[in-house]
Amino acid sequence: MRLDLESFASCPIESRFIETREDALSYYAHKLVGDHEVEVKGVAITVRFNAEEIHHFTDERTPCPGCDVIQRSGRSGEVRCFSRTRARLLDAIMGALGRATVVHEAKIPGGRLVFGPADQNAQRLGVVIGPGGGSVWFVRSAYPVSAQAFAQAHRSGRAARWP
């Protein structure tokens, strides 16, 4: 199902209250889409959340119940499944970038995987950003990273220069 982000009149006050895909789409459209200034490891950048991006609050789970299917608008038409876990972390994205502990190369060309600090369960938020020219970086994805997965990534030797 293709949804128009502009069609949502209200949204949850904080991401921790997101329950449905409609909540997530509305929250993302109202609270994150656009440019935001943040300092990552001492470097001031602009992060841009594109309206068509859906990775921040979806995953690749299959089968996906019909009520949770989200199709990316635009050329790709990518289809993913709403993730309440990821959606409830939307408020943590800017904090993870602003308190970055480690920056690695991402799988996308020129991209970076920024790891925020560990929480009380030793889990971190990984935020994938891609270059947009100058000091602009596009936020492509964000997902929880377990302590074990972080340790493995850290040992991989994919640490990247920043910026």
- How does DSSP assign 42-90, residue by residue? TEEEEEEE-TT--GGGEE--SS--GGGEEE--SSS--EEEE-HHHHTTT
Query: Who has greater pLDDT, 6 or 162?
Result: 162
Position 49 pLDDT exceeds 90: yes
**Residue 89, pLDDT score:** 97
**Average pLDDT of the residues in 25-50:** 96
Position 128 pLDDT exceeds 90: yes
What average pLDDT is seen over the chain? Answer: 92
What is the number of other CB atoms lying within 10 angstroms of the CB of residue 59? Answer: 15
User: Which pLDDT band holds residue 3 (cuts at 50, 70, 90)?
Assistant: low
CA distance 103 to 124: 13
**Residue 156, pLDDT score:** 82
The shares of helix, strand and coil residues in the chain, as percent rounded to the nearest 5, are: 25, 35, 40
User: Which pLDDT band holds residue 158 (cuts at 50, 70, 90)?
Assistant: confident
CA distance 53 to 112: 17
**Residue 161, pLDDT score:** 85
**Residue 6, pLDDT score:** 54
Judge contact between 132 and 53, C-beta under 8 A.
Answer: no
Report pLDDT digits (tens) over 28-37.
999 999 999 9
Query: Who has greater pLDDT, 162 or 43?
Result: 43
Sequence-distant contacts of 153-159: CB under 8 A, at least 24 apart: 153/104, 153/113, 153/115, 154/102, 156/104, 158/104, 158/105, 158/113, 159/102, 159/103, 159/104, 159/105
Global confidence as pTM: 0.90
